[in-house]
Amino acid sequence: MQMLFGMLALARAGCLVLFGVFFVSPAGAQSNSATGIPIRVAVYNVAPYAQVDSAGSIGGHSVRLWTMVASELQRPFELKPVNSVDAIFAGLNSGAYDVAIGALTVTPVREEQVDFSHATHPSGVAAAIRKPSGFANAVQALVSTIVELLPLFLLVAGLILIAGFATWRLERLAQRALQPSPTTISSFGEGVYWAAVTMTTVGYGDKTPKSTYARFLTVVWMFIGIVVISIFSGTVTAKLTATQLIALDGSETALRLARLGAASNSSGAEFLTVSNRPYRQFDTLDAALAALDAGEIDAVFNSRGALVHHVLGRYSNSIEVLHTDLTRGYMAFALPPATANKETLNRALLRVLNSRAWAAERESMAREYGTSGRADRTTF
């Protein structure tokens, strides 16, 4: 019996050692060590927070932050690049990974699946649209306007035909009692012509009604024409200036566009889903931006940091990221649910975030990804 109790005590001690070794065992950085089990780190492969270069080396803003935190913890670690958020969360829940880093924004949906550390980076969902491109953009906007306003065009044409026909018939019935003149409306075509120039307030005066009833109809038609032309002009103007209004108002206005897109399982996709906005899903942010650049969609939604990085890297001449964010949040390290000793990690993380070395790192990123000559200190 004493031997049995001894074996149970030994097993319990072994479990405690394994339970606590994740964050408290000392060791060198990023190498197997006899004094510490390497932490298995899933790296969400989205620049600029994490990316794998052509030589297979893993770098990025979040990777540099994690390296500093691991140094504080005095623990070795192994970086494992992963291209899917779903794969990362599945690995955290199955025990394949001990922590995940990168462009992982904390959202209510994700909080239900995994745990998170203290915030590491500011984050927020923003929108990107195509830049206005002079004459070609104006022609495209005009064609789009004509197609969209086709019902209004048909309505106006129908009203002109009705007014022209009615005026011609009234004039024809009164022709016997009236003295014919060159300005008399004597055919259906002349009636349509008169209705068009009257509605547009041109009023050449070369064709005018002579009968009392036709003149009464003319007064009514002039007021109808003023209303119709005002509605028509306002709608066309609003449509043609939509791109400029979006640039001024920010991402909120971009939601009014017809064709929206986002990378699958990104914070942008989650936002559009929660907002009940129909959108097209893409495998990667690069694929979504390529579709935007090709004119297949009108706007792409994603976390601002990754969006700015990708646009400045490949699409700075054709795409712009709008100024305001649709949501404000934070990125963090993702952890398995109910992670033991999470506070140990959080204390090490806070020490790094308040260090001069990390302040210099953030300032460098802010200058690199700033726009209009100004550093972006709100995103990085």
CATH number reported for the structural domain that contains residue 303 in this entry: 3.40.190.10
Cα gap 88→66, rounded to integer Å: 16
- Kindly provide the b/e burial profile for residues 105-115, where b requires at least 16 CB atoms within 10 angstroms of the residue's own CB: bbbeebeebbb
Task: Check: CB of residue 306 under 8 Å from CB of residue 46.
Answer: yes
- Ranges of beta strands (E only) in the chain are 39-44, 51-52, 58-59, 77-82, 99-101, 115-123, 125-130, 260-263, 280-282, 299-303, 319-321, 329-335
State residue 326 phi and psi, 5-degree precision. -80, -30
Task: Check: CB of residue 206 under 8 Å from CB of residue 197.
Answer: no
Q: Is the domain of 152 the same as that of 171?
A: yes
Say if residue 209 is preceded by a cis peptide, omega within 30 of 0. no
CATH number of the domain at 228, please.
1.10.287.70
Q: What is the 3-state secondary structure (H, E, C) of 99-141?
A: EEECCCECCHHHHCCCEEEEEEEEECEEEEEECCCHHHHHHHH
**Radius of gyration from C-alpha coordinates of the chain:** 34
Task: Check: CB of residue 48 under 8 Å from CB of residue 309.
Answer: yes
Q: Within a domain: residue 376? A: no
Q: pLDDT tens string for the chain (380 positions)? A: 444 434 444 444 443 333 344 454 333 334 333 347 899 999 998 888 888 887 888 998 899 999 999 999 999 999 999 988 899 999 999 999 999 999 898 988 899 999 999 999 888 899 999 886 656 556 666 676 777 778 888 888 898 999 889 888 888 777 655 566 666 787 888 888 888 888 887 767 777 788 888 888 888 888 888 888 888 787 777 766 655 555 445 666 777 788 999 998 888 999 999 989 999 999 999 999 999 999 999 999 998 888 888 898 889 888 988 878 888 889 999 999 988 889 999 999 999 999 999 988 888 877 776 665 565 656 65
Q: Is the domain of 188 the same as that of 273?
A: no
Domain boundary among 220, 235, 250: 235
58-59 and 51-52 beta bridge pairing: antiparallel
21: left (phi over 0), alpha (psi -120 to 50) or beta: alpha
Token pair 């007014």: residue: 163
Domain boundary among 282, 302, 321: 321
**In this structure, how many other beta carbons lie within 10 angstroms of the beta carbon of residue 212?**
10
**In this structure, how many other beta carbons lie within 10 angstroms of the beta carbon of residue 316?**
11
Q: Within a domain: residue 17? A: no
Paired residues of 126 in beta bridges:
302
Q: Within a domain: residue 375? A: no
Q: Within a domain: residue 194? A: yes
- Kindly provide the b/e burial profile for residues 339-375, where b requires at least 16 CB atoms within 10 angstroms of the residue's own CB: beebebbbebbeebbeeeebeebbeebbeebbeeeeb
Q: Is the domain of 49 the same as that of 78?
A: yes
**Residue 84: what residue type?**
S
Virtual CA dihedral for 298, 302, 304, 306, nearest 10 degrees? -110
Domain boundary among 180, 201, 235: 235
Q: Within a domain: residue 79? A: yes
Paired residues of 271 in beta bridges:
none
Q: What is the pLDDT of residue 102?
A: 92
Residues 6+ positions from 360 with CB-CB distance below 8 Å: none
Q: Within a domain: residue 117? A: yes
Q: Is the domain of 265 the same as that of 197?
A: no
Q: Is the domain of 155 the same as that of 75?
A: no
Domain range holding 33? 22-122+330-368
Cα gap 378→363, rounded to integer Å: 11
In the chain, how many domains are there? 3
Q: What is the pLDDT of residue 24?
A: 42
Cα gap 353→121, rounded to integer Å: 10
Residues 6+ positions from 32 with CB-CB distance below 8 Å: 38, 76
Q: Is the domain of 169 the same as that of 189?
A: yes
Q: What is the pLDDT of residue 261?
A: 95
Cα gap 297→293, rounded to integer Å: 8
Q: What is the pLDDT of residue 3?
A: 44
Q: Is the domain of 70 the same as that of 144?
A: no
What is the chain's length?
A: 380
Q: Is the domain of 226 the same as that of 151?
A: yes
Q: Is the domain of 231 the same as that of 141?
A: yes
Q: What is the pLDDT of residue 66?
A: 96
Question: Could you give the 3-state DSSP secondary structure of residue 301?
Answer: strand
Q: Is the domain of 308 the same as that of 345?
A: no
Cα gap 61→102, rounded to integer Å: 8
Task: Check: CB of residue 106 under 8 Å from CB of residue 116.
Answer: yes
Q: Is the domain of 253 the same as that of 315?
A: yes
Q: Within a domain: residue 250? A: yes
Q: What is the pTM of this model?
A: 0.59
Q: Is the domain of 35 the same as that of 110?
A: yes
Question: Could you give the 3-state DSSP secondary structure of residue 52?
Answer: strand
